[in-house]
C-alpha cells in the first residue's frame, strides 16, 4: 500500500551503509506518467521537493538527501513519463533500426540502463533503488519486470527488500496474511525477496517472524520489524538493532566496517530535548501536513541546534482573512509563512505577517511568504495602499512583479527559477551573522520578484534587503525586531539534521529567547 514507509525504510538502509563509509547513490522510481512532480497538487501528493539542478521531484528524495547527506539531481528520479519520452525519442531518431518498439525489451532496457548509468556515473558502492507504487499495480509492472531481469543479470549483487503491512486485529494479534499475499503476488512476477520489512505498530514477535519466514521463504533473520518510532530519525537505529545491516553485508559480501556515530549522537540529542517552543505555521495546505514536510524537518533541525523541541500549530490562512483576532486566541512563540502559489489565502498570510511585525513576534517567511512580507510592509509601513503582487491581483503598486526581461520569456511559456543559485549576502546584517559568509548557495522555486522600482522606498522605511542576486532581492530583514526574516529561496531544502539551515536556526533560537547566533 502507498504511504507505508518505503521511502523512510530505503533512506534508513542507506544511512546504515553511509555510516560505514560506503558511497550510496539513491534512485527513486515513481510509476506515474507525469515527467516530474512539478505540476502535482499538494493536496494529493504532498510537497514538491526541488533538487540542486532544479528538478521537481517526489518528497522521498528529500528523505534521501537528509538521511544520506546527499545533493541529488533529476537523474536520481525515474518516472514512467521520463522512460517513455526517452524511448519515443530514440524511436523517432531511428535508433531501434526499424524494430517494433515494445515494453520488453525496449522499455525495460531503458529502465535498467538508466539505473546502471546513474550508479556508474556517481561511482556508487551501493545503488539504492526504491520502486514506488504497490505490487500488482499495472503502472509499476514494467519496473518490476526490469528488476526481475536485473536479478538474473546481477545475481548475488542484487538484494531485494519488500516492505509489507503487518496489521493488528481487534484481539491484539499481528496478522501475517497480507504479507503472505503480497509476497505471493511478487513471486508470481518472478521476484523473490531477500528480506521482508514488516511495518507494524508494535515490534514483530518472534512467532510472527517465524511464520513470515516459513510462508514467504526467507530466513527468520531476514524478517525485519519496522514498528512505529517516536521520530523517523530513529528508524536507522531500529534497523541496526534488528541486525539488518549485518544481514545485508553478508548477502552482498560487503567489507565489515565499524559504524560512524554521527547519526546516533544526533538522535540522542533529539531525544534528550525537554523545553518546547511553538510555531504557528500559516499556510493554505495545512490539513495535508506532507505539503510542508521539508519545513517541518528544518524546524526540527533548528530545534536540535537550539536545544528545544518545536511543536507546530497549523493555521489555515483563509481563517485569518482580515481577522487577526484568531491569532489572539492561540498560544505560540513565532509565526512562519511558507510558500504556496495563488490568490487563495493570500490576505490571511498578510494578516499574520502584519500581526508578527506589529507585535514583534519572531517571524520567518519563505518564498511566497517573503513576497507577502514585502506586500505587507509596503501597505502598512510605506503607505502604498493596495500594494500587492501582480501574480495574484491587479494593483496600483506591484511591489512583486515579473522583471522586464522575464515578461517576454513568460509570454513564450517560460517557467520558474529553479534549483541552486548563488546569493550574495551583505556584511553586517542578520543574514551575514547567521550564515557567517558573504556568498551562499540556496534552492529556488518561484517566478515573481521584488519590483526594483520600489526597493528604495521599502528600504527608506526600515526594510533591509540583505541578500540578492544582481537586482533580484533574496533576503529581507528588519534589524530592530526580535527576529523578522524572510527568504525568496527555500532554505528548508538544504537543511540537514546535523547541519541545520541558518534561517531556521535563527528563527528557533529567537522563539526560544536565545541570542540569534552565527556559525552554520
**Active-site residue among 63, 432, 446, 490?**
490
| Distance separating alpha carbons of residues 21 and 515, to the nearest angstrom | 36
User: Could you confirm whether 367 is annotated as catalytic?
Assistant: yes
**417: Cβ contacts below 8 Å, ≥ 6 apart:** 444, 445, 446, 447
| Distance separating alpha carbons of residues 301 and 270, to the nearest angstrom | 9
Which residue blocks in 276-429 are alpha helix, DSSP H?
A: 293-306, 325-328, 346-358, 368-380, 404-411
Distances (CA, A) of 79 to 24, 147, 309, 407: 21, 15, 37, 31
Cβ(420)–Cβ(493) under 8 Å?
no
Contacts within 8 Å (CB) and 24+ apart, 228-233: 228/200, 228/201, 228/202, 230/271, 231/267, 231/270, 231/271, 232/8, 232/63, 233/263, 233/266, 233/267, 233/270, 233/497
Q: Other C-beta atoms within 10 Å of 205: how many? A: 13
Cα angle 89, 90, 96 (rounded to 5 degrees) comes to 150
Q: Look at residues 29, 14, 393, 473 and name the one whose alpha carbon lies nearest to residue 240.
A: 14
| Distance separating alpha carbons of residues 86 and 89, to the nearest angstrom | 5
Distances (CA, A) of 80 to 143, 149, 221, 506: 9, 18, 35, 41
Cβ(81)–Cβ(88) under 8 Å?
no
Which residue blocks in 343-427 are alpha helix, DSSP H?
A: 346-358, 368-380, 404-411
**Active-site residue among 367, 391, 432, 520?**
367
Give the strand order in the sheet containing 439-446: 309-316, 276-283, 334-337, 363-366, 484-487, 472-477, 464-469, 417-425, 439-446
User: Could you confirm whether 75 is annotated as catalytic?
Assistant: no
Supply 315's cell numbers.
493555521
Helix or strand or coil: residue 420?
strand
Q: Which residues pair with 398 in a beta bridge?
A: 388
User: Could you confirm whether 382 is annotated as catalytic?
Assistant: no
Helices (H) and strands (E) in the chain, counts: 19, 20
User: Which residues participate in catalysis according to the annotation?
Assistant: 367, 490, 492
Amino acid at each position: 500500500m502507498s504511504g507505508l514507509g518505503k521511502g523512510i525504510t530505503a533512506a534508513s538502509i542507506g544511512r546504515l551503509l553511509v555510516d560505514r563509509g560506503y558511497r550510496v547513490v539513491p534512485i527513486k522510481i515513481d510509476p506515474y506518467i507525469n515527467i516530474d512532480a512539478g505540476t502535482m497538487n499538494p493536496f494529493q501528493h504532498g510537497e514538491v521537493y526541488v533538487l540542486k539542478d532544479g528538478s521537481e521531484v517526489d518528497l522521498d528524495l528529500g528523505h534521501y538527501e537528509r538521511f544520506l547527506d546527499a545533493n541529488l539531481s533529476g537523474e536520481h528520479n525515474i518516472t514512467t513519463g521520463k522512460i517513455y519520452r526517452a524511448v519515443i525519442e530514440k524511436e523517432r531518431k531511428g535508433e531501434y533500426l526499424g524494430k517494433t518498439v515494445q515494453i520488453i525489451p525496449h522499455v525495460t532496457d531503458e529502465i535498467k540502463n538508466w539505473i546502471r548509468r546513474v550508479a556508474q556515473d556517481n561511482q556508487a558502492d551501493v545503488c539504492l533503488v526504491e520502486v514506488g507504487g504497490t505490487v500488482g499495480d499495472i503502472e509499476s509492472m514494467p519496473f518490476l519486470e526490469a528488476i526481475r531481469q536485473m536479478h538474473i543479470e546481477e545475481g548475488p549483487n542484487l538484494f531485494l527488500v519488500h516492505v509489507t503491512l503487518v496489521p493488528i486485529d481487534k484481539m491484539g494479534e499481528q496478522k501475517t496474511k497480507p504479507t503472505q499475499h503480497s509476497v505471493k503476488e511478487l513471486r508470481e512476477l518472478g521476484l523473490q525477496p531477500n528480506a521482508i520489512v514488516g511495518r507494524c505498530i508494535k515490534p514483530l514477535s518472534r512467532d510472527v517472524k517465524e511464520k513470515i519466514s516459513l510462508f514467504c521463504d526467507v530466513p527468520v533473520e531476514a524478517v525485519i520489524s519496522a514498528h512505529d518510532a517516536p521520530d523517523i530519525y530513529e528508524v536507522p537505529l531500529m534497523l541496526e538493532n534488528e541486525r539488518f545491516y549485518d544481514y545485508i553485508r553478508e548477502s552482498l559480501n560487503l567489507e565489515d566496517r565499524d559504524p560512524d556515530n554521527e547519526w546516533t549522537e544526533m538522535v540522542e540529542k533529539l531525544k534528550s530535548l525537554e523545553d518546547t517552543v511553538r510555531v504557528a505555521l500559516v499556510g493554505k495546505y495545512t490539513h495535508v501536513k506532507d505539503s510542508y514536510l521539508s519545513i517541518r524537518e528544518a524546524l526540527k533541525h533548528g530545534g536540535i541546534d537550539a536545544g528545544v523541541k518545536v511543536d507546530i500549530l497549523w493555521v489555515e490562512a483563509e481563517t485569518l482573512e482580515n481577522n487577526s483576532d484568531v491569532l489572539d486566541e492561540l498560544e505560540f512563540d513565532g509565526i512562519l509563512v511558507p510558500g504556496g502559489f495563488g490568490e487563495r489565502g493570500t490576505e490571511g498570510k498578510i494578516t499574520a505577517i502584519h500581526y508578527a511585525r506589529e507585535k514583534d513576534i519572531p517571524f520567518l517567511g519563505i518564498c511566497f511568504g517573503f513576497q507577502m512580507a514585502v506586500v505587507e510592509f509596503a501597505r502598512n509601513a510605506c503607505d502604498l495602499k493596495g500594494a500587492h503582487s501582480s501574480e495574484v491581483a491587479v494593483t496600483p503598486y506591484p511591489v512583486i512583479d515579473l522583471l522586464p526581461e522575464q515578461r517576454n520569456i513568460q509570454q513564450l511559456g517560460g517557467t520558474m527559477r529553479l534549483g541552486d543559485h548563488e546569493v550574495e549576502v551583505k556584511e553586517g546584517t542578520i543574514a551575514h551573522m547567521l550564515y557567517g559568509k558573504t556568498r551562499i548557495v540556496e534552492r529556488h522555486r518561484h517566478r515573481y520578484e521584488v519590483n526594483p522600482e520600489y526597493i528604495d522606498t521599502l528600504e527608506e522605511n526600515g526594510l533591509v534587503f540583505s541578500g540578492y542576486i544582481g537586482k533580484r532581492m533574496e533576503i529581507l530583514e528588519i534589524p530592530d525586531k526580535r527576529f523578522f526574516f524572510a527568504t525568496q529561496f527555500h532554505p528548508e531544502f538544504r537543511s540537514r539534521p546535523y547541519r541545520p539551515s541558518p534561517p531556521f536556526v535563527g528563527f528557533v533560537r529567537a522563539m526560544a529567547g536565545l541570542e540569534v547566533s552565527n556559525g552554520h
